[in-house]
Amino acid sequence: LPDTHYSLTGDWYSVTSQQYEESTGGDSHPHRARRSSSGQAMINRGVVNGGLTINPLPDNMTRIVEDSGKYYTWRSFGPKDRQTQELWVDMSDVRHGQVRVHGILSNSYKQAVRVALSFDFPFYGHYLRQITIATGGFIFTGDVTHRMLTATQYIAPLMANFDPSYSKESTVQYLDNGEVFVVQWEGVRLLGRESEGAFTFQAALYKKGTITFSYQRHVISSAEHPVKVGLSDAFMVISPSSQSPDSQQQTIYEYHRVEMDTTKIASYSAVEFTALPTCLQHDSCELCLSSNLTSGCSWCHVLQRCSDGMDRHRQEWLDYACSEEVLLLHKRMFYVGFANTGVIAGIAAALMLLLALVLVALYINYHPTVASPLYLIQRRKNYWPSLKFQKQQPGYTEVEGEGHERHSIVEAGPC
- 303-326 per-position pLDDT tens digit: 999 999 989 999 899 889 997 766
Task: Give the pLDDT score at 210.
Answer: 98
Task: Give the pLDDT score at 342.
Answer: 61
Task: Give the pLDDT score at 19.
Answer: 47
Write the single-letter amino acid at 162.
F
- Which one, of 133, 146, 141, lies nearest residue 35 by Cα? 146
In angstroms and rounded to an integer, the radius of gyration of the C-alpha atoms of the chain is 34
Cα gap 137→115, rounded to integer Å: 15
Task: Give the pLDDT score at 2.
Answer: 28
Write the single-letter amino acid at 276.
L
Question: pTM, whole model, 2 decimals?
Answer: 0.69
pLDDT digits (tens, 9 = 90+) for 347-365: 888 888 888 887 877 776 7
If pLDDT is split at 50, 70 and 90, which confidence band does 373 have?
low
Cα gap 115→111, rounded to integer Å: 13
Cα gap 75→413, rounded to integer Å: 41
Highest mean pLDDT of the ranges 91-105, 233-247, 284-298, 325-339 = 284-298
If pLDDT is split at 50, 70 and 90, which confidence band does 346 have?
confident
pLDDT at residue 39 tops 60: no
Mean predicted confidence (pLDDT) in 67-90: 90
Mean pLDDT of the chain: 75
Angle at 289 between CA 287 and CA 295, to 5 degrees: 105
56 preceded by cis ω (within 30°)?
A: yes
If pLDDT is split at 50, 70 and 90, which confidence band does 413 have?
low
DSSP 155-181: EEEEES-B-GGG-TT-EEEEEE-SSEE
Helices (H), 185-278: none
Angle at 141 between CA 135 and CA 142, to 5 degrees: 115
- Contacts with 275 (C-beta within 8 Å, 6 or more apart), sequence order: 71, 72, 122, 123, 208, 209, 210, 211
Angle at 263 between CA 262 and CA 268, to 5 degrees: 85
Q: Within 10 Å of residue 45's Cβ, how many Cβ atoms?
A: 21
